[in-house]
Amino acid sequence: MKLSLHTGLSSKLNEQLTRTLTVLAVCTSTLLIKPLFANEVEFEASGYIAVEQRYFFKEALYPEQLNHKQSSLSIEPELYWQWNDGSDSIIFTPFYRVDSQDENRTHGDIRELAYIHASDDWELRVGIRKEFWGVTEFQHLVDVINQTDGVEDFDGEDKLGQQMVNLSLVNDWGIVDVFLLPGFRERTYAGEEGRLRGPLVVDKNNVSYESSAGQQHLDFALRWSHSMGDYDFGAYWFHGTNREAYLTPVVQNPMSSLESYSLQQYYAQMDQLGLDIQATLGDWLWKFESIYRSTSLEDFWATQAGFEYSFIGVFDSNLDLGLLMEHSWDSRGEVEFGEQGSLLQNDLFLGARLAFNDMQSSELLMGIGSDLDHNAFSFIVEASRRFGDNFIASFDVRLLQSNNENDLLYALSNDDHAQLSLAWYY
């Protein structure tokens, strides 16, 4: 096992930590000193440690990549303090993963380090946090605040902590959230040794920004969300650094006689409008998400829409079966491989979720994605079950297939894999 600690990442982590601690310290000194001593502080520690084993069925497509096996260990403790009956709290959730093969996947992050003050009709949240928006399952189109922790998993659901000041105002007509986001997080990508990447490696040291402020650009977001009877609505405007980089192939080492290329990251500024709606009508959940994004390089629309239907107690048992169908659309249409655009320009997803409702919370999820413009498929199975009171075992299989050389899935077509993980929660 090759276990390498990455000094670059740890120094970045320190930088992030210092900045947040400063903000926290200012807030604490102005707002809290008195109540802190006037009241009892409650403390809680929890978290998990997980081991994960991946097995890729086929040999690697690119020479530096790992061949079959990839093991890793991750840890995510959560420390929580609250006082004033929970009106004031601090949460600290560091994360670290050690990977046997991909040095980019050996990385750490502060998922959360934030102070929250809750009043009757407003809430202030300051520090590093995670904020999720959206209603659909197969793509999280409107979710924009946090950067994707791309090395973590294939589904893009893992996010990096984002520094923020968030004021949340509760009104009869909905909740209004104002976000000031100082400091941008660069996306993490698989390294040379990693699988689940295209032929060129994304260079984490070759990053440029449209804004002269670079990574220090102050992003801004304003969101309204509300529930009216069977309907839940959310709408927002985001102004700031695009979380998705434009990737351009560049010669990696001009001095070398061997011409090798890597991908340069360019983060543009963007304005984005987002809308998410869910209608909860009996056994039906109807879901719709849409964004309009405008950057100096392009303007486009995209939507993700579909439904989930639940059968309660199928086969005269305690099992619940949920059937899901979603469609992805992007106004940029089909894109050439290596060009900027969305893979999900006209894709259909079908899924089935089986909840056993047993003591072990056993669950099975299956999904098929298909590109309707050309021949490309993805297939996933996720199964999980609790063992004892503290262990969760999960088993995932992902199969990717494409006949079209222009599709990213074609570049990943040797990356079919199974993944087994065991997590201990405390």
Partner 1 sequence: MLTKKILLSAVSALSLTLVATASFALTPDVQKGLDISIEAKKRDIGWQDNTADMLMLLRNKQGQESIREIKMKTLEVQNDGDKSLTIFNKPRDVKGTAFLSFSHPVEADEQWLFLPALKRVKRISSRNKSGPFMGSEFAFEDLSSFEVEKYTYKFLAEEQLNGLTTFKVEQYPVDENSGYTRRIVWLDTSEYRVQKVDFYDRKDTLLKTLTFSDYKQYLAKYWRADKQEMINHQNGKSTELKWSNYNFKTGLSESDFNRNSLKRAR
Per the CB < 8 A criterion, the answer to whether 271 and 294 are in contact is: yes
Q: Which is nearer to partner 1, 129 or 197 (CB)?
A: 129
Closest CB 256 distance from partner 1, rounded Å: 43
Q: Rounded to whole angstroms, how far apart are CA atoms 135 and 235?
A: 12
Q: Rounded to whole angstroms, how far apart are CA atoms 425 and 91?
A: 18
The Cβ of residue 313 has, within 10 Å, a number of other Cβ atoms equal to 11
Return the structure tokens found at 360.
């072990």
Closest CB 355 distance from partner 1, rounded Å: 8
User: Starting at the edge strand that comes first in sequence, how are the strands of the sheet with 261-267 ordered?
Assistant: 202-209, 261-267, 246-251
Q: Which residues bind partner 1 (CB under 8 A)?
A: 44, 46, 48, 80, 82, 86, 89, 116, 118, 120-121, 123, 130-132, 134-135, 157, 168, 170, 175, 225, 227, 229-230, 232, 278, 280, 282-285, 310, 312-313, 318, 320, 357-361, 386, 389-390, 392, 423, 425-426
Q: Which is nearer to partner 1, 227 or 403 (CB)?
A: 227
Closest CB 47 distance from partner 1, rounded Å: 9
Q: Which is nearer to partner 1, 251 or 312 (CB)?
A: 312
Closest CB 279 distance from partner 1, rounded Å: 9
Closest CA to 139 of 359, 349, 283: 349
Q: Which is nearer to partner 1, 44 or 373 (CB)?
A: 44
The amino acid that residue 112 corresponds to is E
Closest CA to 189 of 98, 279, 104: 104
Closest CB 393 distance from partner 1, rounded Å: 11
Q: Which is nearer to partner 1, 59 or 172 (CB)?
A: 172
Closest CB 78 distance from partner 1, rounded Å: 8
Phi-psi region of 390 (alpha: psi -120 to 50; beta: other; left: phi over 0): alpha
Closest CA to 188 of 243, 137, 260, 250: 243
Q: Which is nearer to partner 1, 161 or 240 (CB)?
A: 161
